[in-house]
Every structure is written in C-alpha cells, then in structure tokens.
Amino acid sequence: NYCINQQKTNLKVKPVAKLTAFLYSKFVDEKLNTYYNDNLEKEFPEFSAVIDEYRDGLLLFDLMEKEIWQRSKTDTLGLKSFYETVKQKYPWKPRAKLLLLSSTKNDAINQALQLLNQGFTSAAIKEKLNSKEAVNIMSTEGTFESGATALPKNITFAVGTSAIFKEGDYYYISKIESTLPAGIKTLDECKGKLINDYQQFLEQNWVADLKKEFVVTISKANFEKVKKQLKK
C-alpha cells in the first residue's frame, strides 16, 4: 500500500531495484519519525512534565474562563448584588468642574486673569497669549477629585475665579464652575474595578467549594522524593 501511494507522487527513480531501496528507506524514516514523535513523553520525562504542565494550564484556563471571567461579565444580577455589598469601597472624594490656567510668567498669568474676567474662553486666551515661538499659557479642564495629581496641591474648590497663586515654578488661576460632594461611585463609574473584585470573589468561592468537595492528600514519599530532586 505504501508503494502504491507513493506512485502518485510521480517518482522518477530508476531502475526498480533503486526505487525499491529508496521507498524502503523513506518508509523506515517516516515510521521512525512517527514512533519518535508519538513516544516523546515516554522517552523524555522532562518533556513529559512540560507537556503535562501545559495541558493542566489549558484546562485551568478553560475552567477559569467558564467559572469566573465569563461569568463576571455576563452575570449582571450577581454583579449588582455584589456591588451593593461592597460599594463603600468605591468612594468619590469631593470633586469640581473647573478650568485651570498656568504659566511660568507672572505677566502672562496676569493678562490671562484679565481676559478670563472679561469672558474669554481658555482657547481664546491661549490663542491671544501664545505664539509659535512661546507657549505662555497652558490650560487644564474637566471634573477632578480633590488631591488629583493633575492639580496644584493648594487649589481651593470654591465656585468662582480664584486670585493668582503660585506653586513651585508655576503661577495658577482656577475657575470653579461647580462642585460635587464626596459620595459613592455608581456601578457604571466603578465598573472596571468592580468586575476585577467580583472575579476575585468568584474565584475565592469556587476554590472554597472545590476544597469542600475534593479532599487533597499528599503522598509523603513522593513529596520527599521531589524535595531530593530539587536539591540536586
């Protein structure tokens, strides 16, 4: 059968005796390679250990995907219930919706304050005071928590436009549009961190259930054997 199948490959080896020897050698090589590949784990214990570890890893990954990761994304009722029990872990500090103007130049920040009091927007102020050669005014806008790293440490969350104040090498003006008190983040506001915590919660419960269902016993003889091997 092997020789018949090889005829389909249009071999041009002649005469017949030479072709027979060639096919026999090819057949032996293929069978040896097949046997070698099929018995790698028997011939090489270290390779077998690596393969077992790989298989166990894939199995664990599949189980984690099914029991924890996928469930944490699709179990909306479970996630909401978990949020209600732990929502105190996700607080907002006092926040403010604000505009912050900054400059290393005292005269530039004074001009910016005058323009701001005249009703100029941050974009208009920068367009008026900055040039291709020099950036005299920088701005930061958005809603920030107190203590945010993007803000100067001595900023005050009081609605209105502040006086010029200095911190380090920079002069600042803050315009606070509105403030928000400290509170608890909604589920959507903390969803990323919440899902991560929910996954840990599911994993802990899953492991606890497995320990109840399956008793783990350690063979002292094998344990000592492994210890000796590791010391070599």
Class of domain 91-184: alpha beta
Q: Would you give per-residue pLDDT tens digits along the chain (232 residues)?
A: 666 666 656 666 677 677 677 777 878 788 778 877 777 667 767 766 777 787 778 888 888 888 788 888 888 999 999 999 999 999 999 999 999 999 999 999 999 999 999 999 999 999 999 999 999 999 999 999 999 999 999 999 999 999 999 999 999 999 999 999 999 999 999 999 999 999 999 999 988 988 888 887 888 888 888 888 777 6
| Bridge partners, residue 145, by sequence | 95
Q: How far is CA 202 from the centre of its chain?
A: 19
- Distance of alpha carbon 71 from alpha carbon 73, whole angstroms: 5
- Distance of alpha carbon 28 from alpha carbon 35, whole angstroms: 10
Q: Where are the domains of the chain?
A: 2-38, 44-90+192-214, 91-184
